[in-house]
Amino acid sequence: MIVMLHRFPRTTTMNPIRIAKSWINYRRTVAELGNLSNHALSDIGITRFDIRNIASRSFR
């Protein structure tokens, strides 16, 4: 006998604590990368334009 399990998309609700922690991580990432010199950013392969995009990955 074969039993098929249906996977329903999990509806996740963002709780306020998780949102706050994610926002803090975003701001911390922006601050840390923003403190680096242009030369240091270039060494790791990013520009100042990339900072917010990279930091937004931690906010998701």
Question: pLDDT, tens digit, for every residue of 15-58?
Answer: 899 889 989 999 999 999 999 999 999 999 999 999 999 999 86
Q: Is residue 54 part of a domain?
A: yes
Q: Is residue 52 part of a domain?
A: yes
Nearest alpha-carbon partner for 58 in 15, 35, 33, 28: 28
Q: What range defines the domain where residue 45 resides?
A: 16-59
Residue 60, pLDDT score = 65
Q: Is residue 10 part of a domain?
A: no
Give how many domains the chain has, as a whole number. Answer: 1
Q: Is residue 23 part of a domain?
A: yes
In Å, how far from its chain's centre is CA 22?
7
Query: Max Cα separation, the chain?
Result: 64
Q: Is residue 5 part of a domain?
A: no
pTM score of the predicted model:
0.70
Q: Is residue 11 part of a domain?
A: no
| CA–CA dist 16, 41 (Å, integer) | 33
Q: Is residue 27 part of a domain?
A: yes
Please check the confidence at residue 13 and state whether its pLDDT lies above 80: no
